[in-house]
Amino acid sequence: MIQFDAVHKRFPNGTTAVHDLSLEMPEGGVTVLVGSSGCGKTTTLRMVNRMVEPTSGTIRVGGRDVTRQDAAELRRSIGYVIQQGGLFPHRTVLDNIATVPLLLGWNRRKARARAAELLETVGLATDAGKRYPHQLSGGQQQRVGVARALAADPPVLLMDEPFGAVDPVVRTQLQDELLRLQKELNKTIVFVTHDIDEAVRLGDRIAVFRTGGHLVQCAAPEELLARPADDFVAEFLGAERGLKLLSLRTLAAVPQGPAPDSGTWTLVLDEARRPLHWRSADDAERPVRPLGDSDSLLSALNESVASPTGLIARVDADGELTGVTSRDDILEHANRAHAELGVAA
């Protein structure tokens, strides 16, 4: 766990970047720091590994006050990923990833073997290891940045806008990869972003900051979306707060019924009972995108709008049809969930 206790940071020029911050970042969880530019997110992050020293207050990592530890040693024990990878341009990808293990005194062979293993972990081909950073795409460079931060298997990972410089499609892929990795690795991650959608996707906890380094609210995404602490947070979350909440809820609890076998549109299945498409009485075809229990209510609503029947096809892990659900059932479930949470207007 990372604990901030009454932490204040004032730079020599008089700027207060972080104001009286008390915050707990749970072990094995992703804490996302969000807020507009200049509100103190990066300063907060950099105080964890002592790249910035607090003016007052205490920061503990795993119960130990960071100011009582050797700064260089502390930094080697904490992974750090920044925008555009921050890779060394004149070192190969493999040598970039092996940086910290080598600093820790591993022999070259072991460090390179670890680097090669990590290339695979972050979804890069082995031959990428021999290239130089400029020979990779922005998204690939970010993956190398993550691999480098993971090289010495640190329990804590600091990520400062790591996916800020890549296009939206690659960004979503990188977010998916991080979620997959985190399921296996359970690191304590502090993640800085401007993007509230990214925060909602990745965060177990989201801390919203306001200019002047004030923490306004720290809560689980659902709680934040359902009950923003004040108008500032509500505005920051945006007008689509209700839709974002739907993106966090899954279809699992929404009832399903049998697919219609007559009527204007029927669902055509293959021999393994996997949905192929909708077919009308006069032989027109419309695509179907089957959904599983872990898909979100937002995806379900989207699909139900695209579906000619307003029905979504539900499938199991093998892609086999389990039933269908109507748009009305999805909406009714969403309304009930919102009401249970007491969603503030």
Could you write out the DSSP letters of every residue in 106-138? --HHHHHHHHHHHHHHTT--GGGGGS-GGGS-H
Secondary structure of residue 187 in the 3-state scheme: coil
Nearest approach in angstroms of CB 214 to ligand ATP is 11
Nearest approach in angstroms of CB 192 to ligand ATP is 6
Angle between helices 241-248 and 297-306 (to 10 degrees): 100
Under the rule (CB under 6 A), what is the footprint of ligand ATP?
Answer: 11, 13, 15, 17, 35, 37-43, 194
Nearer to ligand ATP, 20 or 222 (CB): 20
Nearer to ligand ATP, 194 or 274 (CB): 194
Nearest approach in angstroms of CB 235 to ligand ATP is 17
Nearer to ligand ATP, 35 or 162 (CB): 35
Nearer to ligand ATP, 18 or 128 (CB): 18
Distance CA 311, CA 324 (A): 6
DSSP 250: B
Q: Which two tokens stand for residue 324?
A: 């269908």
Could you write out the DSSP letters of every residue in 15-67? -EEEEEEEEEE-TTSEEEEE-STTSSHHHHHHHHTTSS--SEEEEEETTEEGG
Nearest approach in angstroms of CB 209 to ligand ATP is 7
Please enumerate in sequence order all residues whose Cβ is within 8 A of that of 144, keeping only pairs 6 or more positions apart, or say none. 85, 87, 93, 96, 97, 122, 124, 128, 133, 136
Could you write out the DSSP letters of every residue in 276-310? EEEEETTS-EEE---B-TTSBHHHHHHHHHHSTTS
> b vs e for 251-271, b when ≥16 Cβ sit within 10 Å of the residue's Cβ?
beebebeebeeeeebebebee
Nearest approach in angstroms of CB 233 to ligand ATP is 16
Nearest approach in angstroms of CB 225 to ligand ATP is 21
Cβ-based neighbour number of residue 278 at 10 Å: 20
Nearer to ligand ATP, 33 or 324 (CB): 33
Nearer to ligand ATP, 60 or 194 (CB): 194
Nearer to ligand ATP, 13 or 262 (CB): 13
Nearest approach in angstroms of CB 169 to ligand ATP is 23
